[in-house]
Amino acid sequence: MTRDSGGGPHITNTAVDCTADYLIQIGILEGDLNLTLRVEPPPPDDDAPLAAAERRLARSLLFRWRAEADAWDTTDPEPLPVRWTPSRRVASSGEYVPVGSGADTIAGTFLRLRPRRRLVVLGSAGSGKTVLSVLLTLELLARRLTQGEEDVPIPLVMSLESWDARRQSLTEWLIDRLRQDHPGLPPVDGVHPARRLVLERRVLPVLDGLDELPGPRRAEVLDALNSGLGGAGDAVLVSRTAEYERLDREGKGLRHATVIESLPLRPGEVADYLRRARPPARAAVWARLLRTLRDEPSAPVAWALTSPLMVWLVRRTYEQHPADPGELADRARFPTREAVEAHLLDRIVPAAFPPRPPEPGRLHPPRTWDAERADAWLSYLALLLSRREESELAWWRLYTAPLPRLLAGPALLATGILLSLVIRAGMSGYAEDSPLGDLSVTTSVAGGVVFAAVARSVTASWFGQRLAEPRRSANPLLFVHALRSLDRHTRVGPLFRLAALAGGPALVVVLLCLYVFVSPEPVLVWFSVGGVLPVLLMIVYAAPADTVDAATPNDLLRGEQGALVTTLTLIAPLIGAGAGAFFWLGGGSSGGWAAAVGAWAGASAVLVLLSPWSRWVLAKCSLAATGRVPWSLMTFLTDARGAGLLQLSGGTYRFRNRRLQEHLAGRRARERGRAASPGPGTRALPVLAESRDFTVERTADHFRLHGRSRRLPLAHWTVFGTLMAVFVVRFGVSGQWQDPAVWAALLVWPFIGALITVAGFLMPPRRLELELTRDGVTSVIGRRRFSYEWRHVEEITVRRAVLRGRDARFYALQVRLLRNAPRPPRRSRMGEGWFFVLPLGFSSRVDPQLGAALADFAGPHWTASSGGR
């Protein structure tokens, strides 16, 4: 209060950002009364940019998943009536939820979970668990955008295959995926909003693909998931029941989660769904099938259509004229559920690859493939796996198909001859200046081939059979980091490994010191730089990749290509430098360059032509040229997986279930006029109980199989095949293919190999026995005896035999022991923790009597083989 010029008081009241409704002035008022209101803007809302980013992300995901749902007809004309129930086989530690029906929503069930929203959705192949996750995603996004429920999290559907839990935490993985998949989100505080969205738990991870991970990675991922979610994190996990149930028994399940299983569809609900989904003009054609579903719930077609996969196939198959869905109700033509499913599976490939182009809003839209050709390609791959009694489709094993094996030798020779012509044309000037002429080029190239072959052979002995698998890409500048993978893949003992890795560099230094201070012999430099050092670096930088723990097959292919580039830019130049140094230090100049270039060319030819990448190129090109697979095979397999026909298993593909593989393989075999059974090369050795050379003794507490069996040595062909390949590359690249005597020398290797095989077969039959009791299993092969007690056995099954790190080309009964079990003799080790019991021959199939005895005496330890290694 102040006084004015007239002596009266001047009263001023100032209200700043005031929320009062009345202003009361107490006292005697003289003079003017002035009231000033100063209105200041509210403080800025820091969450406004983040809310805008959330809305943008939610809209983008809604459009994307609508396109995915439309591609699979899961919401047209309404969501598929998939039901669920609390799991009876897996203990649920979260809130109990009632059985869901078509009127309930999976999103409403999820949002009612308290205090943690953690849901595990289980089901078998084709049971609708993926449909449930898609419906959950769509409804959560719709509630967020159309109903204004701001507390609803934004679902992020991701596959666990892209998460390396050993290198990234859950938080960092979600942040990276948000940045990669949604780079256009509006920035918050000048940066991408991914970190705030994840840290403030505004996104909900919906994780699929747990069952597609290899066994060791499943437990690692669940441990990392439990750790990353902490006590308050929310998540949805989708998996097949059997794989999750096995983890849950081991205490590896998702903590504080509610576990539900998808239920079979009800025939009446399926009939109502198909009635609304069918074209109105074809109502009369669909009437018979719909009537059967309503009135005969026990009909074969009603049982078959309890699977969402089969319902989708029915819609796609009989959508247009002249297809008649009523034929499925014909019990004379389709007497069983299996007959209906087989009929529909014949049409799964055309349904998965429709002729129309994909929606542009899909995350990874597949290419438009010709359905008929895609069917033929997948059928061939299925037949190839079935003949090998395998289920994993690995690109690096595709060269074992008959056609690539047949073309391997001619392709090596033809490529070597072309390279020899290129080398001679490029080094013609050096040959003219050398007193040896063309022989100087031939000698240097052959020397590079030999040194590279030695480096490869040592590496093969170091890693065993895994050298045929793709290699991991290593940065040449990070030598110490590259050393870390050697312990996991090596086949040699720790003492030998330490001596080699420590003594190898020391040997290089000693040889160079001898040259400098003792004897200036160029051969010392040649041997150290071009011999010992390339071997050491080959071991370090050509280590096999983790094919089991790999994220995707494409990652393995890129790793192999990176490893090949590393060997060409590091190993081959060292071999060339060693050869050039021998001539430079010996007094020559131009001859040194010629030797260096020639040795580098020869070493590069070996490293490329005998690499897994070259075998892959040969297999793909030969099979694609004959129409067995597409030229862009990896893209096709990726699209087939996106279409639901394949699934990932580590770094390999497999068909979504074994039945689909067998169905496609059997149909391909029938089309070619022969049964889908192993060929002549896969006939089992006579160790079966019904063989006349073997007898069986069986009591309640004892099973004994005894007889005699002939040997058929085949393991040596792996070594002989490698030697023959190196020999072909050497005389092809060096230009010796013009000498007829060299061709005669090539025949020596197959002759020796055949001689060893025949000699082994003609030897006297050896004693072969197998004895099963309630205490354990004992086998006798010749003079060797193998015995294991059941209390020490974790698992017994049939696997490919591996001898000294190499595939022995036959199957054997093997056991895996517990950690605290006594270790058997070294000669019984099969690698990867398995031990030898009994050879079974070239097939993994077990005689029914032997299989029944193993199931009886071994109990839960016995696992029927699926044909893999």
CATH number, domain containing residue 133: 3.40.50
DSSP class of 167: T
| Cα angle for residues 297, 300, 301 (degrees, 5° grid) | 80
- For residue 107, being part of any structural domain is answered with yes
CATH number at residue 823: 2.30.29
Range of the domain at 154: 52-263
d(CA 357, CA 367): 8
Cis peptide before 153 (omega within 30 of 0): no
Given this model, what pLDDT does residue 2 score? Answer: 45
How far apart are the C-alpha atoms of 407 and 830, rounded to whole Å? 31
Categorize the per-residue pLDDT at 697 as very low, low, confident or very high, splitting at 50, 70 and 90. Answer: confident
Q: What is the reported pLDDT for 3?
A: 47
Per-residue pLDDT for 676 more than 60? no
Q: How many Å apart are CA 696 and CA 716, to the nearest integer?
A: 33
pLDDT value at position 618? 94
Region of 530 (left: φ > 0; alpha: ψ -120 to 50; beta: rest) is: alpha
- Alpha-carbon dihedral of residues 403, 409, 415, 417, nearest 10 degrees? -150
Interatomic CA distance for residues 349 and 372, integer angstroms: 8
**Beta bridge partner(s), residue 263:** 83
Distance CA 790, CA 794 (A): 8
- Determine the Cα–Cα distance for residues 491 and 473; give it in Å rounded to an integer: 20
* Within a domain: 670: no
Is residue 625 included in any domain, yes or no?
Answer: no
Task: Tell me the percentage of the chain whose pLDDT exceeds 90.
Answer: 10
Quick check: 595 pLDDT over 50? yes
Residues 848, 747 share a domain: no
**Which residue in this structure is represented by tokens 């929320």?**
19
> pLDDT tens, 128-149?
777 788 888 888 998 888 777 7
Query: Is residue 347 within 8 Å of residue 317, measured between CB atoms?
Result: yes
Amino acid (1-letter code) at residue 813: L
Q: Note whether 302 and 250 are same-domain residues.
A: no
- Average of pLDDT values for 4-10? 50
| Torsion from C-alpha of 805, 807, 812, 816, nearest 10 degrees | 40
Decide: 685 and 397 in contact? Cβ < 8 Å. no
Tell me which of 831 and 689 has the higher pLDDT: 831
Co-location of 126 and 10 in the same domain = no
Residue 622 has pLDDT above 90, yes or no: yes
CB of 563 within 8 A of CB of 542?
Answer: yes
Q: Residue 276 domain-assigned?
A: yes
Asked if the model's pLDDT at residue 88 lies above 80, the reply is: no
Q: How many domains does the chain have?
A: 6
Q: Which residue has the tokens 């000699």?
A: 759
Asked whether residue 192 falls in the same domain as residue 338, the answer is no
Residue 191 and residue 288 in one domain: no
pLDDT tens string 754-787: 888 888 778 888 888 889 999 999 988 888 888 9
Query: Does some domain include residue 159?
Result: yes
686 lies in some domain? no
Strands of 806-817's sheet in order across: 793-803, 806-817, 834-841, 829-831
Which of the listed residues 345, 361, 376 is the one where a domain comes to its end? 345
3 state DSSP class of 835: strand
Residue 640 lies in a domain: no
Are 334 and 215 within one domain?
no
Are 222 and 280 within one domain?
no
- Please answer whether residues 154 and 147 qualify as being in contact, where contact means their C-beta atoms are separated by less than 8 angstroms: no
Torsion of CA 316, 321, 322, 323, to 10 degrees: 20
Q: Other CB atoms closer than 10 Å to residue 691's CB: what's the count?
A: 15
* Residue 430 pLDDT: 58
**pLDDT of residue 436 exceeding 60:** no
Same domain, 105 and 206: yes
Q: Could you tell me if 193 and 338 lie in one domain?
A: no
The residue ranges of DSSP E strands in 670-762, in sequence order, are 694-699, 702-709
**Integer angstrom CA distances of residue 849 from 441, 444, 468, 704:** 64, 61, 36, 11
Task: Say yes or no: 29 and 159 in one domain.
Answer: no
Do 790 and 776 contact (CB within 8 A), yes or no? yes
pLDDT at 867 over 50: no
pLDDT in tens, 352-394: 887 766 555 555 555 678 888 999 999 999 999 888 777 788 8
H or E element at residue 239: strand 235-240
Residue type, 377: W
Final residue in a domain of this structure, among 580, 610, 640: 610
Q: How far is it, in rounded angstroms, from Cα 553 to Cα 641?
A: 12
Residue with tokens 């669940």: 222
Question: Among 640, 672, 608, 319, which residue's Cα sits nearest to residue 448?
Answer: 608
- Of 263, 285, 308, the position where a domain reaches its end is 263
Residues 467, 334 share a domain = no
Q: What pLDDT score does 293 carry?
A: 92
Question: Helices 612-625 and 590-609, interaxial angle, to 10°?
Answer: 60
* 153-162, 340-349, 690-699, 772-781: least confident range: 690-699
Whether residue 702 is found in the same domain as residue 599: no
Q: Does position 319 have pLDDT exceeding 90, yes or no?
A: no
Q: Cβ atoms within 10 A of the Cβ of 733, count?
A: 31
Mean pLDDT, rounded, for 677-702: 54
Return the pLDDT at 263.
83
Residue type (1 letter), 525: V
Q: For 258-269, what is the mean pLDDT?
A: 87
pTM of the model: 0.69
In a domain, 560, yes or no: yes
